[in-house]
Structure 1
Amino acid sequence: MSTLNVAQVESRVRADGGFAVYVHWPFCQAKCPYCDFNSHVRHKAVDQTRFAAAMARELATFASWTAERRPLSVFFGGGTPSLMEPSTVAAILTAIDDTLGLPADAEITLEANPTSVEAARFEGYRAAGVNRVSLGVQSLNDTELAALGRLHDAATARAALALARRIFPHVSADLIYARPRQTTTAWAAELSDMLDLAGDHLSLYQLTIEPGTRFFDLAEMGKLVVPEDDAAADLYELTGEMTRAAGFSRYEVSNHARPGGEARHNLVYWRGGSYIGIGPGAHGRLNENGTRTATSTERHPETWLAKVEADGHGLTEHEPLGAGARADEYLLMALRLTEGMDLDAYAARAGAPLDEARIDALAAGGFLRRDGRRIAVPDTARLLTNAVVRELAA
């Protein structure tokens, strides 16, 4: 592996958002009632060697379509990647290095559930090259964990966090708030507890009820009621206050980090970079001879596997994005960031600049902050980010 120094990383990110690889492992022990991700439960052992070989083959196919090399980050998402054997992770990372040239200081993240069986694999993942783990804690309350369909309890989550912090240089944890009947007092106590346990990154998500999930069905029947918008807004503001006081900065709508703990991989997405997505149901954005191309793959794992073995990829979508789609995507993603977006980068994607009159009007109303050729949504208007994006894109 070669080394990509900090100056090179920063130069590349400023120029084009960077380049990354996403690996989707679609298998879970159980389907959580709030989850609309591409995840599947299998009651027989998964042939991990076969899936890893297919991922390597799909990677080689996509790599042949783009000149991008030396990814800044690799992210194993799911599903539950911590159901992978460390040898499977190592095989995929070797394929990425052989195909693209993986810098020695690349950020390599693996999502993990904090069950004791999976935590025991942490040493193996670290040896394979993983240097950042993202733990799906979701709650530190046993009753709430059961309601969320999680298979771990709070004590197991605490133990997994402590173990992860001993093994990995960077540790992130997820929590879900605005749960049914949740009060600001209860959330403050739970978040305070997590801040005492946290590594250098927290992803704190408001519970959303997604179509196709068990929670959606319950909500439709009136059996599940989440906090009203005003109450959820209070929880969001409280979250920002508490994380800030603990030394975390909210650098994206739902993500908080200590200095240097920001997720490099997700920044590639939010800054409009390109990325190869491999595995069942993975999405990608490829730079193909200067054309930004959207890719997505077959969601059903075994069908994807057969397609890759037959054709070299499991694609269901491979479409060039027009100027409008490129610009709208960048606007939507970059304005989620506290640092905001580059107006020249937007114009390059759109083929035309944003309307200065709209920018000025939103800035005058306190909905945008402007600094030269950059605009951002200030903290005081963060809850209105989607409305700001709609106004700018209109």
Structure 2
Amino acid sequence: MADDWRNGGFGLYIHWPFCEAKCPYCDFNSHVSGNINQKQWLSSYLSELRRAAAETPDRVLNTIFFGGGTPSLMAPETVAAIIAEARALWRPANNMEVSLEANPGSVEAGRFAAYREAGVNRISMGIQALNDEDLRRLGRIHTVAEARAAFDIARGCFDRVSFDLIYARQYQTLEAWRKELTEALSMAIDHLSLYQLTIETGTAFGDRYSVGKLRGLPEDDKAADMYLATQEICESHGMPAYEVSNHAAPGSESRHNLIYWRYGDYVGIGPGAHGRITVNGRRMATETHLTPRTWLDTVAHKNGEKKRAILSAQEQASEYLMMCIRLSEGLDVDRYTSISGLGLPQHKLDHLQEIGMITQEGRRASATPNGRAVLNAVIRELLG
């Protein structure tokens, strides 16, 4: 149990909370600000890195991920200093993956070259749609032409470039999505994150939806058809789903996200960042303050954590199942037993296999394509 995290690896997540504009569908912790003191933010990040490293000494750091928000608004010098400090505090893996999220509107060739020099070796770009009308509906501030130009800049600087698309958008047809996805796959990419539009409470879309003003959303059956078409088209292009919403050419999977899904340890730093760390044999969930000002103030006085909680064996096992079942490789039934002290009910596994929701090979259980389409129901059955 004390070393279970080694099955997933060890990563570092840095949250940059600022964006140029707030998208109406977004429920991430992001804020719009015209006055950002980069030196103050860097000082706070470095302070938190040192505190976290003191609790997790002698570890090999597999990945760093700059998320947000829009991390491509960070000064390259800030990114470089964070990477250098992380490499000094932990032992960097020989093939350490360093990812940075970017929005097309904030991409500049000089800035991207500077990120590469800083140590970033993978870019994840939030394109979201290859259709100008839908980009406007989604509140994006870039055009398709700008997105393509930004993508070309990224590909010129980095060997590994991923981008995100949202489907099941307002007034979107199945045929339009098939065409758009095929177009995306024709670009020189090795990784795609493909998310169904979800309406979250507390967002602008959520407010409109609650009063009946968000029109044109597809019915559930149509959205399911889009999901199934997504799997078919990506597989035919050599980009199968290695996770419910993520597709990659073999070997190009996001190693940082695999740490989450394989239930490794990860340090979360920055406003609203979450973490899972094992300290003195006890696995803990960490959570930081949400608002940028509060986070900066608490780091200056003590640390940026809002709370941490020791996870029970059953809580860890449930988290492991919920994360690993998302992967095409599935979960290790024996690892679940080792974490929880109790095995998964074999009769439930057998029932889910009989109805085509999972497959069992040796001691691994994996969701089938039909099972991934209703994954929450599969999880409820296994944990119920």
TM-score (norm 2): 0.96
- Which stretches in structure 1 are left out of the alignment for 5+ residues? 1-11
Determine the structure 2 residue equivalent to 1:4: none
> 2:374 aligns to what SS in structure 1?
helix
Contact 2:108 2:153 (8 Å CA) reproduced: no
User: Residue 162 of structure 1 contacts residue 197 of structure 1 at CA under 8 Å; is this kept in 2?
Assistant: no
Moved more, 98-107 or 349-358: 98-107
Q: Aligned partners of 1:14 and 1:48: how far apart in 2?
A: 33
Residue 143 of structure 1 and its aligned partner are, at CA, apart by: 0.9
* Cα 1:68–1:38 shift into 2, 3 Å: farther
Q: Name the CA distance, whole Å, in 2 between partners of 1:354 and 1:68.
A: 34
- The answer to whether 1:89 aligns with 2:56 is no
Matched, 1:34 2:25: yes
Amino acid at match of 1:64: A
* Alpha-carbon distance in 2 for matches of 1:119, 1:340: 39
Q: From the superposition, tell whether residues 14 and 200 of structure 1 become closer, same or farther in structure 2 (CA, over 3 Å).
A: farther
Q: 1:67 to 1:347 in 2, by over 3 A?
A: farther
In the TM superposition, residue 115 of structure 1 has moved relative to its aligned partner by 1.7
Alpha-carbon shift at residue 119 of structure 1 (Å): 5.0
**Deviation of residue 381 (structure 1)?**
2.3
In the other structure, the counterpart of 1:287 is 278
Indicate the SS of the match to 2:377: helix
State the AA in 2 paired with 1:25. W
Structure 1 residue aligned with 2:46: 56
Identity within the alignment, % = 51
Aligned partner letter, 2:99: T
CA distance in 2, matches of 1:89, 1:308: 19
Q: Deviations over 1:350-372 (max 9, x none)?
A: 12111111111111221110011
Amino acid at match of 2:283: R
* C-alpha distance in 1 between matches for 2:51 and 2:106: 37
CA distance in 2, matches of 1:307, 1:111: 26
Report the 3-state secondary structure (helix = DSSP H, G, I; strand = E; otherwise coil) of the residue aligned with 2:95. coil
Distance across 2 between alignment mates of 1:140 and 1:269: 29
Q: Of 223, 248, 253, which residue of structure 1 is paired with 2:239?
A: 248
**Equivalent residue for 1:239?**
230
List structure 1 runs of 4+ shifted beyond 4 angstroms.
12-15, 116-120
Aligned to 2:325: 335
Deviation, structure 1 residue 284 = 0.3
Residue of structure 1 equivalent to 2:250: 259
The 2-side partners of 1:147 and 1:68 are apart by 48
Residues 5, 264 of structure 2: 8 Å contact kept: no
RMSD between aligned alpha carbons? 1.5
Q: What does residue range 20-31 of structure 1 map to in structure 2 within 5 Å?
A: 20-31=11-22
How far 1:247 moved relative to its partner? 1.2
Aligned to 1:133: 123
Q: Is the 8 A contact 2:325 2:367 kept in 1?
A: yes
Taking the aligned partners of 1:146 and 1:381, their CA distance within structure 2 comes to 34
CA change 1:83–1:257 in 2 (3 A) is same
Contact persistence 1:66–1:289 (CA under 8 A):
no
Residues 1:219 and 2:209 are matched in the alignment: yes
Structure 1 residues 264-343: aligned runs within 5 Å:
264-311=255-302, 313-343=303-333
Cα deviation per residue 1:64-109 (whole Å; 9 max; x = unaligned)?
A: 1224612111000000000001111001001111111223420000
Task: Please tell me whether the aligned partners of residues 81 and 112 of structure 1 are also in contact (alpha carbons under 8 angstroms).
Answer: yes
Contact 2:195 2:245 in 1 (8 A): yes
Unaligned runs of 5+ in 2: none
Q: So what's the TM-score if we normalise by structure 1?
A: 0.94
